[in-house]
Each structure stands twice: as C-alpha cells, then as structure tokens.
Structure 1
Amino acid sequence: MKKKPPRTARRSLRSILVVWFILFSVVPVAFVTGYSVLKYEQAIDNELAQRLAANAREIDAILDDFKSSMMDRRNIYAADTPFIYTLSTGDVAGIRRTALDWLKADISTSLTFFNRQGRMLASVYRDDQSRLKDFVPSGRRALVLAQENLDKLRYVNEYALVEHSKNGRFSLILFSKLSNAAGKHVGYLEQSLDLDSRFLIKQKERMKLELMILRPTGAVSAATLPDFSMYEKGYFEEYTKALVHSFFDLDVRGEPHGFLVYPMSFGNSDFFLALGASKRDAKAVLRNVNLAFYVVVATVLGLLIIMIWVSSNAVLKPLQDLVAATQNIQNNDSPVEIPVTSETEIGLLTESFNTMSRNIARARAELKNKIIELEKANLQIKDTQTKLVHNSKMISLGQLVAGVAHELNNPIGFIYSNMSHLRDYAEKLMRYAEEAERNPHNIHRLQKELDIDFIKEDLPKLVRSCEDGARRTRDIVLGLRNFSRLEAAELKELDIHESLESTLNLIKGEIKGRIEIERNFGSIPKVKCFSSQINQVFMNLLSNAVQAIEGSGRIWITTKITRVRGKGEMVVISIQDSGKGMTPEVQEKIFDPFFSTKGVGQGTGLGLSITYGIVLNHGGDIQVKSQPGTGTEFIVMIPVKPDESVLKASINRKAE
C-alpha cells in the first residue's frame, strides 16, 4: 500500500497563540496609550483655550478702559459751560479752537460736534502721523448726523458702536447728547477711536499671539498678519455662529496654531476676537509621546513574541510529536508509542495516546482476522448465489423447454403421423412406375387397385401439412436463437417489439387457448443494450404475468417513448395482466432476492431481483402497480442511449 505523505496543519497553533496574545496584551496597551495621547492632546488644547480666553478677557478689559476713558472725557466736555454756550451759538471757530486743545489730551482719534439738528459744525482728528487736523464743512458741503443715530439719541443720552472699515481698521465710536446747565439740548458729540493692525500687533508682541477682529459674518476687519484677510469670505463664519467658544486649528505660515474665537461687544455692537497661539512646542511634545508610544508597543510586541515562541515550543513540541505519531499509526501495524516526558496534562494526553495506539494495533489485528473470515464467507455466499442463480435459470429453462417441447410436439407429431402415409404412397407410386415399364397393358387395372387418383389428391395435402409443421418448428427454433443471442456480451441496438414477439412465441404454449394478448405498440426507436439481458427481463415479466392468471385472462402490452430530465429519451414498456394482483406488503418485497409467493420447488425468488438489477444496470427504472383482485402492471423504462461506460462496467462487475 502506497504511503500517504504526512498531513500538515492548515493553521499554526503558534500563530493562533501569537494573534490572541497580541489581541489581549498589545491591543489593550495600544488602546490605553493611544487614548492617553488623545486625552493629552485634548488637555493641551483645553489649556491653550483657557489661556487664550484669559487673554481675550484682558483685551476686552482694555476696550472697556477705552470706553471708560472716552466717557470720562465726554463728561469733562459736557461740564465746560463756556464751550456748551459756544456750541449752542454755533461758533465754529470757537468750537474748532477748543476741540483742538481737548484732542491733545484725549485718546480719541477724532472729535466731531453737531448742532441740535444733527448738522456737523466742526471736526478735529489725528492723521496717520498723529498730527492734529480740523475739518469744517462749508455751506455747500453740509454734513449731518445719520438719521439712525438721531433716532437712537432721541431716547438715550449716549450709545456706543463699532464701525468696521475695509482698510484693516475698526473704530470705537461713542455718540453723546450735550445739554446746557438748564438741561436744554444744544448738540451732539461723536468720539471715535480708530484701531488697526498696529494696536493688534502691540498686543501680539505683549502676549505672543496672533489676533484677528472678526465681524459677525466671519469677515476679517483687522489682523496681525495680512494673510488672514486672504481667506475666502465666510471661512470663519462657522466659528462666529457657534453658541460656545470655538477652538480650531489653523496653519499660519506653515506653523500650527490653535485659535479661539471669543465673542466681544462695545456698546450696542457685537464682534469677535480670534486669538491664536503656536502649537509648535505642543506638537513636538506629542511627537515625542507618539514616538515613545511606538517604542513601547514595539518593545512589548517583541518581548511577547519571544516569550510566546519560547513558551509555545514547550507546549507545541509534545503536540507535534503526538501529531507525527498519529499520522504514523496508519502505516504501522505495531503500536506507536511516545515517551512521557511531562507530568502535566500533556503527559496525561501522551499516556492516553499510547494506550489508544496499543488498542488500535490490537483492534487492527482482530479486524484483519475478521476480514479474512468475511472474505471466506463472501466466497461461499458467492458460490451459493451462483448455484441458486443457476438453479433459477435451470427452473426457468425447464419451464421454457417444457413449453417449447409442447410447441414442437404438435408440428413434429403432424410430420411423424404423415410419414407412414407418405411411405405407403411412395411404395405404391414406385410399384406403379415399375409396372408401367414392364407391362404397360396392366396400368389401368393397377391404377384402380392402388387407388392412384386418391393418392394424387391426398399427397399434396400431406406435403403441405409437413411443410406447415416444419415451418412452425423453424419459427420456434428461430425464436430460441433470437432469445438466447449468442452475441449477448456485445452492446447492440435492439428492436423492443421484435424482442417482445420472440418472447411471446416461446411461451405461446402456456398462452394458447386461455390468455388473450392485446398489443398497443407505439412508434419507438431501437434501444442500445445487452439484448439477451433485456430478453430475460421480458421473459421473467411475461412468465409471471401468465402464471398470475388462473384460468382465462388477458395481458396488455404497451410501448411508448418519453423524455426524462437528466436521462434523455427513454422507452416505456408496460406489461399488465388481469391476474390475482398483490398486496402492498408483497409489493414492497417482490424485488428482494429469494422472495417468492410460489410454492416450494416452484421458484427461487430470484427472477424479479435479477430483472430489477438488469434494468438498473442499463440506467433505467422499473415500477410495479397492483391491487388484490385487479391484476398487476410492471412499467419498465430503458434509456435509448445509455452511458456505455457505466453499462459495461456494471456488466464486468457482474461477471467478476
């Protein structure tokens, strides 16, 4: 017996252990470390946001100081009675002269005075070089306070707002209503403090931050860097519309920054201050932490792999020995044993394997003995079966020979009985011929004496009777030859109708006079088969049908063609008799070997079993329908073109 190569495991137990160790050790470490790094980064962002919020409050306090200073100066101006009188009289020169003096000590960028109707009288301001300037509108260039501002000052004495410009500047403006000592309204004062990037840059240098003034729409009004104004409109809008302080990351000239958008207000105006601090140092720390994380994970992973490799060797080596020994069992008749080197569960497993190996060797030896005994018994059964089949064939042959002998007896009897008359007629004719040669004159007397006229009349009848007997004998012999088919071992095409007729001719003696045959033959093709076996099927079925009819009866033979899925075209042969029928219990057993409903000595019970095997070997099927008292129908289905290789193989097995 050829030895099979040793089978290897599809999956390595060591790799499984490594995977599970990694899952339950490295993965938790990686998760905890990664989570810690994430929390650390969030903590850095939170700390940075808190610091930026403190800086924002500090700048908000500066703006509040600006407003308080502007209000203090306004109160000083409103308490200057001579100036209030000058304002009420519309003395532009006096207003301009006094305002220039006041602006020198004021933080405001400009002071603008209006009369009680809101018409501008004079304005003093600082230019970009901080030089004091004044402006007095001419009669043709009358400037008035915006109606919106007039409407608001109608109900309040002051209000403040922030005005954003497009040149990177925003202004803190305070509008105030001025009245004389009697409380009479005499005019208006507009104080404006212009702030631009220079103000933000001073805060940047002091706080080490990047700053932006944002409108509610997210547009940049002023910033410490012109780069911020280059962002598309609405870029920062999502942060200005947030309900809480928004913190986001933004790269500023290639350096990561964390920005906080802080809401602020000046009087009736809302705006936002964006403060950004560099995260370069924090990122460096995070990189170091991540590097440390990777080093720790790699170190733990390496140590785990080494530990698993060492520990798995201690576990897997005995298991590998067990696997090798298990694979060797099938190639060895003697027990395969492994030395027990451990007192652990693996050692117990090794001892159990050794016991099992000894039991298998013992069982294998017993099995071989049983196989030898079974082979002997099988040979005896085959011999017995061969004898039984031979006996069955001899019984069938005896019945067939008896029927054939009966059929041959009649025509041979006709011929034999006619031979004496033919011999007598021949002697008389020879005597008549001799007398005619010797004594022609006695012809007439001898003709009457020998009754030649009767001989001439009866002799043709006797010859025809002998010819009929000989022809019947020839037909019977031809039917026997067709039934036996000496070329049965060859696969040939068979005419089913011819086979049925030949079989009917052979059992004609049992049929004649009591059973009527009704043929309903369809148009069917020839079937490729072993003809002698198919003839045997028809002989068994028709013989059973004849024997099932007690007294007179009828047999219906029907043929047709049908198509079965997976098998192609099949010829269907139905043989139905009007006999006594069968019970369901008998129907379940009729194809079993040695089952018979006939009396002792009348059959072996192998006829239908052999029939069933022949039909199945040809790739066909056989069915039975029967009811007690109504007869039996056998339906045989044979493929027109069977699988020749399968059919020949089945015949060869049967021959063996």
Structure 2
Amino acid sequence: MTIRAKVFLFALMAVVLVCLMGLHLFTGAHQSQLMREQVTTLQEQLDSYNRLHALAWPYLNQLAQARLTRADTSLVRSELAKRVELEMVRLEDSSSRQYRWEEDRTVEQERMEFQALSDALLAWATWAESRVRALPEGTSVGSTVEWLLYTRFEQSVGPLIEDLQRAEHGELQALRSRWDESVRFGQLLAMFFPLLCLMLVLVLAFAIVTPMQRSLKELSSVAERIGRGDFDIRTSATGLDELSMLAHAFDRMARELRDLLEEKQRLIKAEAETAEREALRYQSLLEKTVLARTVELAETNDRLKDSLYQLQAAQEQLLFADRLASVGRLAAGVGHEINNPLAYILSNLRYVQQELGDANGPPSEEARQEMLAALSEASEGAERVRLIVQDLKALSRPDDVALGPVDLAAVVRGSAKMARHELRDRANLVEECSGVPLVKANAARLGQVFLNLFINAAHAIEPGRAAENEIRVLARVSTPGKVTVEVRDTGSGISPEHLRRIFDPFFTTKPIGVGTGLGLSVCHQIITSLGGDIRVESEKGKGTSFFITLLVAEGSGTPEQSAA
C-alpha cells in the first residue's frame, strides 16, 4: 500500500468516526426532544385532570349562590358543561399527540375513557342541580348539603379521575426512567467512544509511521555505505509504496556503480598485463643485444620505468575519480547551499592569515579583537554549514533543537552580514527590527532562515542597480504573544502557478546547477519546528513579501529590558 493510500485510509477512518459520533449526537438529541414532548403532554393531561377535579366545589358554591338569589341554576350547569367540554378537547388533543410514540394505545380506548369521565361529571352536575332545586322554597344550601353533594362527586367521579391520574403518573414515571437510562447510556458512550476512537487512531498512525521510520533509517544507512564506496548492498524493501520504489532505485544505482568500478578495474588490469608483456619482450631483446647495445638497453629501461610510473598514476587517478563521482552524487545537492557561508568563512580566515603574516610582533589589542571577531564570525559560518547539512535529513525526520529567548534584531544583522556579498550589487538592505520582544527560537536555525530569504531576494533582482532596489525587514508584534517579521523585496516576483509550490522540497525555478530547491523548504521546516508560521505574497514584476510569525519567549520583554 502506498503512503498516499495509507494517508487516505487514515483520513477515511477519522471521517467515519466523526460521522458515527455525529449520528449518535443527532439520535440522542432527537430522543431527548421526543421525551421532552412526551413529558409535556403527560403533564398537560395531569393538569386537565386536576382542573376537572377542582370544578366540584366552585360548581356547588355557584349553585348555592343561584339558589340564594333565586337565579336559574341551569345556567350554572351549562357553564360547567362548557368547561368540561373545553377540558375534554384539551385531553383529546394531547392524546392525539401521544399516539405517535405509544403504539399500544388506541383512539377509541382514549375516547371511551374521556367520554365516561365527561358523562359521569355531567351526570353528577345534573343530579346536584336537581337536589338543589328540590330543596323547599326559602331554604338555603347549607354546608351539610354541599358536603353531601361533594361526597357524591367523590364517590362517582373521583375514582375515575384518580384512575386516569394514576395511569398518567405511571407513564410519566416510566418515561422518566427511560430518560434517565438514555442519559446514563449517553454519558457512558461519551466517555468510552472518544477513548476507542483515540486507540484506533493511534494504532493506525503507529502502523503507518513505524514502517516509514524503518524504511527511512535503512535508506540513510544505505546512502552512508554508498558514500564510503561499499556498493555490495541490497535493501530489504518489498512493498509498492514510494519509499520502496526509492529503495529499489538505490539498489539499481549501487549495481550500476559496482559494474562501472569493475569495468574500470578490468581495463586497468588489461593495461597492466599489456605493459608487462611489453616489458618481457623488451627484456628478451635486451638480453640478445646486451653486449652490443648497452646504451640502448639503459634508455629502454628508463622508458619502461616511466611507463610503469604513468600506469600506476593512471590507476590511482581512476580510483580517485571513481570515489569523487560517488561522493559527488551525494554532495551535489548541498553544494550550492553551503557555498555562501563557506565563502564567508574563507574570507574571514584569509583576513586572519593576512593579519598574522603581516605582523612583525605581537598584534595590537585592536587588531587582536578584529581577528577574534573574524574567527567568531567564521565559526558562526561553519555552524551554518553544519546546520545546512543537517537540514537535508530534517526534510524527512527533523532533529530536536534547543530553544530559548533570541534577539530577533541580532539574528537579522548576523544573517545580513553573511549575505552582504550577494546583496551589495543588487539592493540596499533596510532593517527595522528594534523594539520587539525576544522570541522563542534557535538563533542558528533562525539565522539560516533569514540568510536563505536574503539570498533568494537578491537573486530575484538584477545586479547593477542597487540604488533602485531595496530589501526591507520589518518586525512587529502582530497579536498578543506573537511577533511577525516581514521580508519584502522589489524583485521580479513569483508567478501564480509557482507560488503554491515554492515550499515543496527540490522545487526551483532557477537554472540547473544554480539552485537545489531546498532553501525555502528548509525555511518552512525550521519555522514550523519552532511553533511558528511562514507564508508568502507575491505579484509578478512587483516583488515578493515573506511573513514569518514566531512565538514570544515566556517572561521576556524587549532585548533592552532583558539586558537591563
């Protein structure tokens, strides 16, 4: 399986897990909404039953008042019937909504229960009105009569209402139990499902990363052996992914180099055998004419010695050339990247050598300080070279670097010094980096980033017009806890089709032999490892701007405050 397929599989698994979690959340929300509707409906029915049960005493009081004022008691009964009918409509409405989740209930059963309750309530109301009207003329409805009428209500209507209320309470209690169980299940699922997802993701990531690390380690070992001239190697790659294809390419390269070396050795051996045969032939002739041609024999011996020396020198040169070809294949990719700091190192070393050669005695303190400064800058350039070589490995497996508070302005100045031989005939460098806090970074690696950006900016500007062009470095606090550095030039710019690929390894628009395509890729790798971000904006013919965002070092202020 290819690396791309493994990444797609990893992404597909993550999407499936997210979809499953989303489906569970949607289902849980739907069930919670349905249970809330059920609770609301049951509560409405209980409220209706309570209102029906509470109609008895007000009705009896109204009958007593009508009897006292000699009003028509049938109007009171009609008003009660309207209120009962209204409550029945509410009960039927809530019951119709309840059928959506209770399949064991029927419309006819509910209507029969409601009708029985309505009939019993209206029958009691009619009976109570008739008893009140049957009282002797001039007799008021006393508390004893009201209590007897209410007792009849509790005996005839009350049990029906209580039975319906008990049924609704039972349903409400069962619904609450299901709701509690659903909540507990959701809590357990919310606790264990992310753990399961995390374990699956870790297992899949381990299954992808471990073979990649093993293959990269083996490729690194093979490259080192080829660099030492050991071509009798063979990788153990058996898959069909990109790393296996690269390993097969290493095997083919080693076989071709081995065959080439053996062919050269055969040629050298054949030449040596030919020379040996020629020497024997000359020796035979010399033996026959030793007395007569002593002088000629001496000259012939001298020529033979010269030929032997030339053959030995040719053999040594062939072996040396073969080793150079092997080393060149590995070193060609970093030759351009280390050329600039190496020139800087040599310039400082020549300066120190010249100063020491011209001095007649111990150097003065000023000369000594200048030579120490030159040696320090040469050491810094050598450190740059070491980091450039390490950054080739960083493209596949970045090494850890020590991070700490770094003065951004000092790093920019140091990189500008190393790039000044590239900048002096092309543009003026303007630095505006003072007043910003110390950033969390590695000074050497951050300096390599700015050095690559300065050199790329210089190469985008035609030489000979330094007064008309500029490279400006501007640092500012962009957001709380972050510093943004802008490197802007007035060069030729980058075309839109190349802009999205400039951070890809080995991508370059420069001619063959001028650039390797590693500079911006290494910059991106370094800034990302520092916890920052790098982006680019460019317009063809109007220049390019790189924006680097870095984290502010914890507990640090500006470089001036830190020094104080």
Flag the structure with higher helix content: 2
Q: Which protein shows a greater Rg? A: 1
Flag the structure with higher strand content: 1
Q: TM-score normalised to the size of structure 2?
A: 0.44
**Which protein, 1 or 2, shows the higher relative CO under an 8 Å CA cutoff with sep ≥ 6?**
2
Q: TM-score normalised to the size of structure 1?
A: 0.39
